[in-house]
Chain A
Amino acid sequence: MNLTEWLSVAADSTKEIAQGPLGIATAVWREVPGLPLPDDLYGVYIPLLSDGLALQFGLLAERRVCAKLASALIGLAPDESLDSDEDVFDAVGEVTNLVAGGVKMRVAGRADVSVGLPLALRGKVYPTTGSQSIHGVMCLDDADVWLVLTGTKTNKR
């Protein structure tokens, strides 16, 4: 599988999680070739280790969108919100974990994937020598969420 196929699978899994446990009505995927990632995004990366490929899947958005995703997962009322970064990114980490679980299930038979532990960050990751990165935008109702896949080939067979 190439990175584009992995990203497409991640988009499908994100849609399922958005429209399932997050209760978001519309989820529209947009490929955005050539459009750079915005600089000031927050979010969570989670490792997806496969045979011969070390991937990092990132789910990134503006801070207010991350808070919205967190509230949706926990099921807060519209007038309630999570204040602390720790609570927001703990919940976004769980959303990312759910998406990663869906990716693992979808590629079973084509790739044997181990899911790692999530890491929250602000900013963006720059691919280093030997790695590639692609991204796209999932529009969840009126909010953009950027899905990022950074991959490095490994020597593992």
Chain B
Amino acid sequence: MVVDDSKAMRMIIRRTLRQAGFGEHVVSEAANGKDALDAVRQAKPDIILSDWNMPEMNGIEFLDTLNREGISVRFGFVTTERTPEMRLRAADAGAAFLIVKPFTPEDFKDALAPHLR
């Protein structure tokens, strides 16, 4: 599942997933953490790639809510947030990785390969 408030970025992430060799996976989308949370409650995806700064519910609030509700799902950030403090905050909340925008297909390959077959 790709969660980003920018339609353009969701399109770019889908393309990058294909370029990184993950094209066989079915990709769902949500435009913010709140919509994504509603979707995940219905059907849990293999992995969530989420932006950090979004309206309604941001990425870290989304991850915290998943944790609070006991929904265990692999979760990574795809974000411009890349300071050590943000990386630490993401890791503390249980994020498996943080991919920094702008990114390359190799970045996706490195981050996702341990989590997707």
Contact = CB atoms under 8 A, between A and B. Distances in A.
Contact of A115 (B5, B7, B12, B80): B80
B82 A101 contact: yes
Contacts of B79: 101
Given A20-B102, A75-B12, A115-B53, A100 B80 contact: yes
B42 interface: no
A98 B11 contact: no
A113 to B, nearest CB: 9
Contact of B80 (A74, A75, A101, A116): A101
A74 B6 contact: no
B25 interface: no
Interface of B: 5-9, 11-12, 15, 53-55, 79-83, 100-102
The 8 A-B pairs of least Cβ separation, nearest first, read: A101-B80, A91-B8, A21-B102, A94-B6, A94-B9, A90-B7, A94-B8, A90-B8
Interface of A: 17, 20-21, 70, 73-75, 87, 90-91, 93-94, 97-98, 100-102, 104-105, 108, 115-117
